[in-house]
Amino acid sequence: MMCGKVIFFSCLVGFLAVFLSLDFFIPYREAAAAKLPLKLKSYFDDFVNLCSSHLEFLKYLTFSPKLFSKTEVKRFTGVDGDSVYLALLGRVYDVTRGRKHYGPDGGYHGFAGQDGTRAFVTGDFTPDGLIEDVSDLQLEDYLGLQGWQQFYEKDYKYVGKLVGHFYDKDGNPTEAMNQYLIKLAEAKSEKKKDQDDARRFPPCNSEWRQDEGTRFWCSTLSGGVERDWVGVPRQYFQPGRTYPRCACVRTTGPPSGQDDLALHDNRGDLDNPKLKLYDGCEPTAESCHVP
């Protein structure tokens, strides 16, 4: 009998703790904490944090994402004050809080009640543009889509998956989703290559004057790359680009990626075959005029 009471009492305290950790009680908790002596306050904070983590765990156990059909999502366009939902990459978000954007009078109402993923990067808000197909976009567009997804995950409530293009009837990723993920990985790897390339061959400073033509020059900060060397301007024939661009090239130390100076001539990247001296420019000049 006694044992039963203890269990009941523990459950009651546990239930109250989780209940009080709901966001609704934040102002009351803060007001209570402010009145406590400093020493007790830290115990109180620990207790609240413990309760919150229980709540997250409970949410994790009890929240299984709903699977929406297209017809179901179509109901949530915000007409007559109803909720507004939109889907991006097959994930459905409750965007009612952003009614001014997505409601009937909002500039982005086209996104409401459907998955218009493609338009997030093309800006084509016509019915032909508000579609799910993202199979043939430019690589950087996949990074754009990922950015939008991060935005909705953070700013709005995720409510479930849309069955069809990106998820199948069991909520598993479809081939279209796999293809998107492959393109996204490719885009990230390209971006990383571009960043490495910009660090190795930072773009030059440049100015143009009618009487003198273009002047390229290097400094410890050019092309947005800060470094401890200045370098000399060279034409850089970047793989995959039609025209060369001006790059500042390191003139001392081993070539990039080859740390063993003993095997090299201490000329930095100057001997890289993708580089060419500008006509009329001194090989060691930090500034070059190009007519």
Q: State the Cα–Cα distance between residues 176 and 118, nearest whole angstrom.
A: 13
Residue nearest to ligand HEM (CB): 123
- Which is nearer to ligand HEM, 101 or 289 (by Cβ)? 101
CB of 156 to ligand HEM, least distance (A): 7
CB of 120 to ligand HEM, least distance (A): 5
The residue ranges that bind ligand HEM (CB under 6 A) are 98, 101, 108, 120, 123
Collapsing DSSP states into helix, strand and coil, what is residue 133? coil
Task: Give CA torsion, residues 17, 20, 21, 27, to 10 deg.
Answer: -150
- Which is nearer to ligand HEM, 96 or 214 (by Cβ)? 96
CB of 179 to ligand HEM, least distance (A): 21
- Which is nearer to ligand HEM, 47 or 108 (by Cβ)? 108
Q: State the Cα–Cα distance between residues 134 and 119, nearest whole angstrom.
A: 9
CB of 215 to ligand HEM, least distance (A): 34
CA dihedral over 156, 162, 167, 170, signed as positive or negative: positive
Q: Letter for the amino acid at 215?
A: R
CB of 119 to ligand HEM, least distance (A): 6
- Which is nearer to ligand HEM, 106 or 173 (by Cβ)? 106
Instruction: Give the Cβ contact number of residue 13 at 10 Å.
Output: 10
- Which is nearer to ligand HEM, 162 or 247 (by Cβ)? 162
Are 236 and 244 in contact, with CB atoms under 8 Å apart?
yes
